[in-house]
Copies of this chain bind each other. A is one copy, B any other.
Amino acid sequence: MIITLNQINEMEKLYRVKLINSLSGFKSANLIGTINNKGITNLALFSSVIHVGANPPLMGILFRPLSAIRHTYDNIKETKHFTINHINKSIYQSAHQTSARYDENTSEFSACGLTEEYSQTIKAPYVKESKIKIGLEYVEEHHIEANDTVFLLGEIIEVLLPDDIVNLDGYVDIESAGTLTTSALDGYHETKLINRLSYAKTDKEIRPI
């Protein structure tokens, strides 16, 4: 079937939100850990983390409109540091629970049963129960005029992960670490590798590697 922009605009709000959120495909499922200058930690679920570049190592996150309450964004602006923590099957329900509207004096770590872990380098808390954790420092942000959202960039300062999931060529086997993927607003999925494919060239067949 064809859905037109007019039909989208006429949809009931929640129906539209779920439908449009489904369309980009599978998303990353990460918990972002932050701390404010008073020492109160925050943990929030994001499905909008993307790779931005390898040199310098950069990741980007899309934040909801400036008008909404955004403790994560405020904390990053205050302390410059944040952590990105992959979600796995043993913590996906706790991770989902962090999206409830806790007030700013409540840490989602304690409210949702997850454990803070700190490194020497990054002020913000990691999630101990996560297997792949990245510490980042604020770099720049862009205000999206079309809907008042913010695209924020951070530089990777350190990476904490198990030794045995880093392949010889640098590929990190996030599937064997149990990292999940998410769909729309509430779907959590395990993955099963079909293949890694060789670098594509115009004059050569690609092959599984």
Q: Is there an interface contact between A100 and B201, defined as CB atoms closer than 8 Å?
A: yes
Question: Which A51-70 residues have C-beta < 8 A from chain B?
Answer: 51-60, 62
Query: Given contacts A21-B54, A191-B190, is CB(A179)–CB(B26) below 8 Å?
Result: yes
Q: Mark A1-41, 1 if CB is under 8 A from B, else 0.
A: 11111001101011111111111111111100000000000
Query: Given contacts A146-B153, A186-B209, A193-B187, is CB(A24)–CB(B28) below 8 Å?
Result: yes
Does A132 sit at the interface, judged by CB under 8 A? yes
Residues on B with C-beta less than 8 A from A144 are 52, 58, 60, 140, 142, 153
Query: Given contacts A159-B2, A189-B175, A192-B190, is CB(A20)–CB(B57) below 8 Å?
Result: yes
Q: Is there an interface contact between B26 and A51, defined as CB atoms closer than 8 Å?
A: no
Name which residue of chain B comes closest to A148, CB basis: B53
Q: Is there an interface contact between A102 and B202, defined as CB atoms closer than 8 Å?
A: yes
**Integer count of this chain's copies in the complex:** 2
Residues on B with C-beta less than 8 A from A186 are 171, 196-199, 209
User: In the complex, A5 Cα to B172 Cα: how many Å?
Assistant: 17
User: In the complex, A181 Cα to B25 Cα: how many Å?
Assistant: 8
Residues on B with C-beta less than 8 A from A98 are 200
Name which residue of chain B comes closest to A4, CB basis: B158
User: In the complex, A194 Cα to B92 Cα: how many Å?
Assistant: 10
Q: Is there an interface contact between A184 and B202, defined as CB atoms closer than 8 Å?
A: no
Does A110 sit at the interface, judged by CB under 8 A? no
Question: Which A152-168 residues have C-beta < 8 A from chain B?
Answer: 153, 155-163, 166
Q: Is there an interface contact between B202 and A194, defined as CB atoms closer than 8 Å?
A: no
Q: List 9 A-B contacts (CB under 8 A).
A: A5-B157, A18-B172, A22-B172, A52-B149, A140-B146, A183-B193, A186-B199, A189-B193, A191-B192
